[in-house]
Amino acid sequence: MATCATVTPAATVLHGDAYDLLPSLAPQSIDLLITSPPYWGHRTYEQDHNWNIFQDWLATGADKTDVPGYEWYRRNGGALGLEPLPDW
């Protein structure tokens, strides 16, 4: 979910997941974008991460060489940057 942190005549600052925000933005409306990438092991973005998420994915009948999309991770307790590496 996105929250509007600041609105002034010169700028609007949005705070949220880019996955949620991008569809609501008008084309050619961005002059500056600042992100905080999920640096593995350097930031704790989610405390409630499902560490068994890859086993949950396999339980759906998926092949272990297939990787679920980000939306599936979000719906099932995963966090961007904490996706497990498939056991290839």
pLDDT tens for residues 15-48?
777 778 888 888 888 888 877 666 655 555 555 6
The pLDDT value given to residue 40: 58
The pLDDT value given to residue 23: 87
pLDDT tens for residues 59-88?
888 887 877 877 887 787 776 666 665 555
pTM of the entire predicted model = 0.41
What does the DSSP 8-state code read for residue 24?
Answer: G
Q: Residue ranges of the domains in the chain?
A: 1-35, 40-88
The pLDDT confidence band at residue 2, using thresholds 50, 70 and 90, is: low
Q: Is the pLDDT of residue 13 over 80?
A: yes
Q: Which residues are within 8 A (CB) of 86 and not within 5 positions of it... i.e. 6 or more apart?
A: 54, 64, 65, 66, 67
Amino acid letter, 55: Q
